[in-house]
Amino acid sequence: MGMTITEKILADHSGGKTVEPGGLITVKVDVALGNDVTAPIAIRKFREVGAKNVWDVNKVVLVPDHFTPNKDILSATQAKILRDFAIEQNIVNYFEQGEVGIEHVLLPEQGIVLPGDLIVGADSHTCTYGALGAFSTGVGSTDLAATWTTGEIWLRVPETIKFVYHGTRNKWVSGKDLILYTIGRIGVDGALYKAMELRGPVIEQLPMSDRFTMTNMAVEAGAKSGIIPPDDITLDFIKSRAKRSYKLYYSDSDAKYSEVIDINVSEIQPQVALPHLPENTKNVSEVSNIELDQVFIGSCTNGRIEDLRTAAKILKGKKRKKYLRLIVIPATPTIYRQALKEGIIEILAEAGAVIGPPTCGPCLGGHMGVLAKGEKALATTNRNFVGRMGHPESEVYLASPAVAAASAITGRITHPDEVYQGEE
- Asked whether residue 302 falls in the same domain as residue 237, the answer is no
Same domain, yes or no, for 359 and 275? yes
Pairing of strands 152-156, 24-28: antiparallel
- pLDDT at residue 289, rounded to an integer: 87
Indicate whether 423 belongs to any domain: no
* Residue 166: strand pairing partners: 264
- Enclosing domain of residue 50: 5-263
Give the 3-state secondary structure of residue 85.
helix
229 lies in the same domain as 289 = no
Same-domain pairing of 413 and 296: yes
Provide block-wise average pLDDT over 10 residues at a time, the chain (424 residues): 95 94 97 97 95 96 95 95 97 95 97 98 97 97 96 97 97 97 96 97 98 98 98 96 96 96 96 96 94 98 98 97 98 97 97 97 93 98 94 97 98 95 73
Per the domain annotation, does 251 fall within a domain? yes
Prediction pTM value: 0.95
Q: What is the pLDDT of residue 1?
A: 79
Name, in order, each residue with C-beta under 8 angstroms of 288's C-beta and a sequence gap of 6 or more: 412, 413, 414, 415, 418
The per-residue pLDDT for 212 is 98
Residue 16: what pLDDT?
87
Asked whether residue 247 falls in the same domain as residue 320, the answer is: no
Cα 31–197–180 angle (5° rounding)? 100
User: Do residue 224 and residue 162 come from a single domain?
Assistant: yes
What single DSSP character describes residue 133?
A: T
Q: Is residue 231 part of a domain?
A: yes
Q: How far is CA 198 from CA 209, 309, 374, in A?
A: 15, 25, 37
> Which amino acid belongs to residue 367?
H
User: For position 421, what pLDDT does the model report?
Assistant: 81
Q: Is residue 424 part of a domain?
A: no
Same domain, 163 and 229: yes
Q: Identify whether the C-beta of residue 247 lies closer than 8 Å to the C-beta of residue 116.
A: yes
Please tell me whether residues 39 and 108 are part of one structural domain: yes
CATH number of the domain within which 306 lies: 3.30.499.10
Domain C-terminal end among 263, 286, 304: 263
Same-domain check for residues 191 and 321: no
The whole-number pLDDT of residue 234 equals: 98
β-pair partners for 296: 327, 379
